[in-house]
């Protein structure tokens, strides 16, 4: 297992390099720059600003300059915000996005799996149909439709929950964003769990357990669940990635100071360093999550062995 | 077994519900919450360039002059001043004032600030606003160390200008002319603006800045007029989603929204009639024509295009937020200006204008059967799109086949600066209350900012005369003559004069409409 992990981590390095290079050059290809604006700058001022941010150097030199700084953990200055470095901005934003994403994932996993298991155990009853049709709705409605709707009803009309803001991570402020983020995933996980559970319940080893006379609950929890969860666990990797990228929209809608918003604002402002920083964080996160999922898979499925 | 479990569920749910209902507490402190629609680039007045930054920086620092409750120019850090007869030398007497750390505010803080923002190595985007000061431009280029600013003594500041500049006092309210605390900047360098280091001579001091989340400021007890400042603390939120901000106001989470989406106006008039504040704003919305490309070098084509625009339809049916149709370049209520200048066809009915326009286009060789093909460029925004579509349809009948092209603001303005367009949408908000600040858009000397590349020796001559005239009335006449010349040539098509759009909670007391949409918090109060 250790060899496998080491191998994967080493393999992540060229992946990251590729991502950084692609992002770097793609950003520069887009027309416009960080300092083009409604007011044209006199030439001496424009020259000074470009020189200050090294934008007057040839592109390949800027690239290697950036790489050399990244290697020592220096993400550079933001082109837009002068009083904070990119690292400081990411440092304040990352815990917010992480908290949001992890909680949304946990909520999605628990509720999704719970609903899916319940539906599978009561297959073809009213409960089953209720869960599955709700799931279909949850998958079909995009979260940027759901979120403002929830905000309007629960925040403006009923005043039960705040409309927006982070408020230092107060629970009240997290409820709506987490719901909006988790709902589509709950739906998907529920369907996935149900399907997988139904199949597993028909498997030979489950029939053996039942034949042995084990209590129904034990059959489900100890034996069937592990097998049924395999597809769900593999989905958790991409689900986490989807939640992370979905947070870009949710953070804008709910005014949350996470990294997702930096993506949008940074891209529109051509704040190259900020967007690069966000790309690196997201890429690192997704690579790590996929690795974790694969490791978890190895523990759940006795047929999977990573080391020869 | 089941009932025990349900018991736990119910208790858990109640506990959870209790934990999430907010505590009710009585705050004696008056806190003003503002949805500011943007994250500032900095708290350093030399490195900002936007109106949203002005709302924060202008509360921390006090310039030589400042804005009164109604927006007019009043003494700020300067208690009084004298102007030399030739209008070139201003001598300011500073009032007794201290920074929030107790150190005296002196003329040297201003001298230091101007030399800092104009220094060649300072990447200050807005420094050119101070080019009215003698040698400022050369100083910026590094050609001279001699700048027309002198700290005569601790309380006397002398500024020499390039030429008589009647709008100079109005320019001084802008953040490019703010003082900076020399002793703090020299001590902390780049970190001088971090909360904890930064000091203010204005009504408020910033105590925390969580990037992308909020900026908080509290009342500065050392402010010279602190006794009259009623609001204890301010919070600015940087979110740019206007719909979101509007919802927060309705849920009583913010007190002021500094903008709202125009297409919400019907809803706002219904749901928040008292909170919706619309007022004339010193800005002009226009479509510029590229006179370096045929046939836009033909005056009659330009006039035809301008005449065929039904500005009433645009203002009343497309925008609906009270924008004023514009037939000239300088907005109403501009200081030191005799009267509003309008194109001669303003008095014609739209039907007659259309008829005349068709005639002019025909003479130039264009009819609906043989139309002029052009591209209307605009930067991404619902309103710009709607107006461009309206223009395209209005021009169809006079023999124009228009294509629309939209680009992001950075790209769009770059194209305009490089004269890489046919017809392009633009807008100009006044930096200071003076006609020159609008007319320079069509002056030959404006280079890249003269998007239309219009060049009229007569126009330039009138502007040059105005620049050296100290008598404000005579100067106004020169500027008016200049505008009349330009509007007859129509290098840019004015569409409307801006309005400022704010949502102001009824709790806020003292909010007055001002032509530059500036509302300094020292004049405001909150009802409890």
- Kindly tell me if the per-residue pLDDT of B194 is higher than 60: yes
Residues B7, B12, B14, B15: is their CA dihedral positive or negative? positive
Number of inter-chain CB pairs under 8 A, A vs B = 142
Confirm if A304 and A298 have CB atoms less than 8 A apart. yes
Q: Which of the residues A53, A79, A164 would you substitute to probe the B interface, choosing the one with the greatest number of B C-beta atoms within 10 Å? A: A164
Residues 6+ apart with CB under 8 A from B263: B382
Q: Which residues of A touch B40 (CB under 8 A)?
A: 81
Percentage of residues in chain B having pLDDT higher than 90: 76
Do A31 and B137 count as a contact with CB atoms less than 8 A apart? no
Closest residue in chain A to residue B194, using alpha carbons only: A83
Residue of A299 and B63 predicted with greater confidence:
B63
* Option in A42, A48, A262 nearest B123 (CB): A48
Residue B206's Cβ-count burial label (10 Å; 0-12, 13-18, 19+) is buried
- Which residue would you say has higher pLDDT here, A135 or B514? B514
pLDDT of residue A238: 78
pLDDT at A231: 83
Confidence band, pLDDT 50/70/90 cuts, at residue B404: very high
Separation between Cα atoms, residue B31 and residue B232, nearest integer Å:
6
Neighbours of A83 (CB within 10 A): 22
Res. B48: pLDDT tops 60: yes
pLDDT at B289: 96
The region of weakest confidence among A146-150, B177-181, B307-311 is A146-150
Query: pLDDT band at B406, cuts 50/70/90?
Result: very high
Q: Over chain B, what is the mean pLDDT?
A: 91
- CA of A80 vs chain B CAs: smallest distance (Å): 6
| Residue B25 banded pLDDT, cuts 50, 70, 90 | very low
Please judge whether B253 and A162 are an interchain contact, meaning their C-beta atoms are less than 8 angstroms apart: yes
Residues B211, A162: C-beta atoms closer than 8 Å: no
pLDDT number for residue A130: 85
In the stretch 199-228 of chain A, residues with CB closer than 8 A to chain B read none
Report the distance separating Cα B407 and Cα B390, nearest Å: 18
Instruction: Supply the DSSP symbol for B524.
Output: -
Least CB-CB distance to A156: which of B20, B42, B251? B251
For residue B188, what pLDDT is reported?
Answer: 95
Can you tell me the distance from the alpha carbon of A278 to that of A260, in angstroms, rounded to the nearest whole number? 8
More confident residue, B6 or A150: A150
CB B310 within 8 A of CB B357: no
What kind and span of H or E run contains B327? Answer: none
H/E stretch holding B345 reads none
Optimal mutation site among B275, B410, B417, interface A, most CBs of chain A within 10 A: B410
pLDDT band, very low/low/confident/very high, at A263 (cuts 50, 70, 90): confident
Give A37's contacts in chain B (Cβ within 8 Å).
49, 125, 409-410, 413
Q: Which range, of A43-47, A60-64, B511-515, B520-524, averages the lowest pLDDT?
A: A43-47
User: How large is the ipTM?
Assistant: 0.83
Using CA atoms, how far apart are residues A294 and B193, in angstroms rounded to an integer?
47
A262 touches chain B (CB under 8 A): yes
**Across residues A29-45, what is the average pLDDT?**
74
- Mean pLDDT of all residues in B54-74: 94
- Of residues B3 and A45, the one with the higher pLDDT is A45
| Dihedral (Cα; A221, A242, A174, A114), 10-degree rounding | -20
DSSP-derived secondary structure letter, A41: P
The reported pLDDT for the residue numbered B24 is: 46
Cα nearest neighbour of B191 on chain A: A83
- A32: nearest CB among B22, B209, B411: B411
Could you tell me the pLDDT band of residue B20, with boundaries at 50, 70 and 90? low
Query: Which one-letter DSSP state was computed for residue A55?
Result: T
């Amino acid at each position: 297992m250790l060899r496998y992990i080491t191998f994967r981590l080493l393999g992540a390095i060229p992946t990251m390099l590729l991502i950084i290079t692609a992002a770097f050059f793609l950003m520069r290809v887009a027309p416009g720059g960080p300092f083009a604006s409604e007011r044209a700058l006199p030439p001496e001022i424009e020259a000074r600003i470009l020189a200050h941010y090294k934008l007057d150097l040839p592109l390949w030199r800027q690239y290697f300059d950036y790489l050399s700084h990244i290697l020592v953990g220096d993400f550079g200055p933001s082109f837009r915000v002068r009083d904070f470095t990119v690292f400081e901005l990411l440092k304040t934003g990352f815990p917010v996005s992480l908290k949001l994403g992890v909680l949304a994932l946990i909520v999605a996993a628990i509720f999704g799996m719970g609903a899916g298991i319940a539906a599978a155990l009561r297959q073809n009853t009213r409960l089953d149909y209720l869960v599955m049709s709700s799931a279909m709705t949850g998958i079909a409605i995009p979260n940027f439709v759901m979120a403002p709707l929830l905000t309007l009803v629960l925040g403006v009309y009923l005043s039960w929950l705040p409309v927006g803001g982070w408020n230092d991570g107060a629970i009240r402020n997290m409820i709506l964003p987490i719901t909006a983020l988790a709902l589509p995933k709950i739906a998907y996980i529920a369907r996935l769990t149900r399907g997988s559970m139904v199949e597993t319940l028909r498997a030979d080893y489950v029939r053996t357990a039942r034949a042995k006379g084990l209590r129904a609950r034990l059959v489900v929890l100890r034996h069937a669940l592990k097998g049924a969860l395999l597809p769900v666990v593999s989905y958790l990797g991409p689900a986490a990635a989807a939640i992370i990228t979905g947070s870009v929209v949710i953070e804008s809608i709910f005014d949350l100071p996470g990294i997702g918003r930096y993506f949008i604002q940074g891209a529109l402002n051509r704040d190259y360093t900020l967007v690069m920083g966000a790309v690196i964080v997201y890429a690192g996160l997704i690579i790590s999550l996929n690795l974790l999922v694969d490791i978890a898979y190895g523990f759940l499925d006795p047929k999977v062995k990573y080391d020869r | 077994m089941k009932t025990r479990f349900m018991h736990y569920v119910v208790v858990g749910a109640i506990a959870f519900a209790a934990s999430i209902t907010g505590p009710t507490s009585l705050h004696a402190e008056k806190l003003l919450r503002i949805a500011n629609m943007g994250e500032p680039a900095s708290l350093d007045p030399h490195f900002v360039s936007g109106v949203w930054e002005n709302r924060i920086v202008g509360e921390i620092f006090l310039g030589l002059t400042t804005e009164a409750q109604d927006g007019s120019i009043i003494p700020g850090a300067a208690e009084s001043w004298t102007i030399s007869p030739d209008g070139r030398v201003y001598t300011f007497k500073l009032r007794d004032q201290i920074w929030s750390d107790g150190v005296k505010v002196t003329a040297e803080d201003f001298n230091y600030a101007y030399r800092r923002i104009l220094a060649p190595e300072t990447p200050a985007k807005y420094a050119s606003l101070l080019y009215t000061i003698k040698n400022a431009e050369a100083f910026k280029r590094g050609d001279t160390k001699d700048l027309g600013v002198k700290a005569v003594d601790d309380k006397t500041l002398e500024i020499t200008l390039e030429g008589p500049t009647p709008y100079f006092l109005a320019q001084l309210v802008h953040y490019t002319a703010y003082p900076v605390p020399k002793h703090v900047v020299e001590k902390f360098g780049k970190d001088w603006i971090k909360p904890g280091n930064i000091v203010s001579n204005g009504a408020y001091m910033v105590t925390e800045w969580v990037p992308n989340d909020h900026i908080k400021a509290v009342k500065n007890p050392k402010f010279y007029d602190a006794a009259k400042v009623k609001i204890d603390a301010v919070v600015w939120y940087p979110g740019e989603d206007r719909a979101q901000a509007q919802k927060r106001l309705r849920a009583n989470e913010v007190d002021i929204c500094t903008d709202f989406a125009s297409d919400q106006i019907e809803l706002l008039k219904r749901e928040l009639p008292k909170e919706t504040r619309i007022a004339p704003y010193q800005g002009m919305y226009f479509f510029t024509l590229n006179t370096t490309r045929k046939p836009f070098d033909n005056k009659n084509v330009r006039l035809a295009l301008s005449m065929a625009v039904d500005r009433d339809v645009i203002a009343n049916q497309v925008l609906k937020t009270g924008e004023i149709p514009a037939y000239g370049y300088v907005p109403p209520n501009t200081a030191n200006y005799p009267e509003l200048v309008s194109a001669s066809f303003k008095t014609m009915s739209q039907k007659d204008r259309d008829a005349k326009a068709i005639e002019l286009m025909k003479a130039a060789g264009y009819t609906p059967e043989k139309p002029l093909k052009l591209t209307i460029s605009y930067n991404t925004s619902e309103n710009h799109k709607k107006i461009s579509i309206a223009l395209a349809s209005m021009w169809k009948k006079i023999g124009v086949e228009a294509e629309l092209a939209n680009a992001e603001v950075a790209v769009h303005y770059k194209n305009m600066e490089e004269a890489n367009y046919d017809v392009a949408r633009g807008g100009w908000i006044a930096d200071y209350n003076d006609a020159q600040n609008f007319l320079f858009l069509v002056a030959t000397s404006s280079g890249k900012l003269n998007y239309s590349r219009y060049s009229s020796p007569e126009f330039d001559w009138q502007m040059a005369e105005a620049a050296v005239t100290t008598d404000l009335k005579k100067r106004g006449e020169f500027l008016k003559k200049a505008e009349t010349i330009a509007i007859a040539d129509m290098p840019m098509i004015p569409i409307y004069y801006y309005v400022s759009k704010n949502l102001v909670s009824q709790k806020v007391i003292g909010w007055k409409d001002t032509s530059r949409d500036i509302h300094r918090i020292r004049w405001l109060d909150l009802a409890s």
